Amino acid sequence: MDLCAVPRIAPEDFPEPAEDLGADAEGVVVLGGGCFWCVDAVYRQLDGVQQATAGYAGGTPETADYRTVCSGTTGHAEVVMIRFDTARITFGQILKVFFSVAHDPTQLNRQGNDAGPQYRSSIFVADADQRRVAQAYIAQLDAAKVYDDKIVTTVEPLDAFYEAEEYHQDYAARNPEQPYIAHISMPKVAKVRKHFADRLKGR
């Protein structure tokens, strides 16, 4: 059963970020929103997203492997590094999908039945401009009360990113009938395709 909160408004009705970055901004961000299979699957749908790579942020390289990270003791978060064309999709638009579809930003150190600090809601920023925009958008969404509860997403510096094992990459597309994918990931893919149809690849 999915225990994630449902926003009070439709994803497409989430406010646009009052602050955003232009086409000359850094086109990479690392997002943690629970299991990286789900976040990866959502962003692969969007026009302007050039690459999505599952991995781990935080912690140390010695413990950046799936089995050890799953212990919840390494300090890592499961994340997806998203590289995007800033002329086709902005940093703010990436964040709008993150908060409205990709995960539940009101859950502390968990997403639904996946519990532990490795599943924390987090934005690992590349620079001070990304930090400013991310923090401003969180405040904007809280003020708009798009969720019943306060957003708990952390905004953290990206000190290191460790690419996950090859079998985790594009996992949902390669394993559509796996139970977790079928019941958790694919509904999010359907949601982003429904509510952000104007932003899909090949539209």
User: CA-to-CA distance for 101 and 188, rounded, in angstroms?
Assistant: 6
Strands (E), the chain: 28-33, 49-57, 77-84, 110-111, 114-115, 121-125, 154-157, 161-163
- Exactly one of 4, 35, 38, 70 is catalytic; name it: 35
DSSP letter string, 23-40? TTS--EEEEEESSHHHHH
Active site residue 4: no
**Joined tokens for residue 118:** 């490795």
Residues with catalytic roles = 35
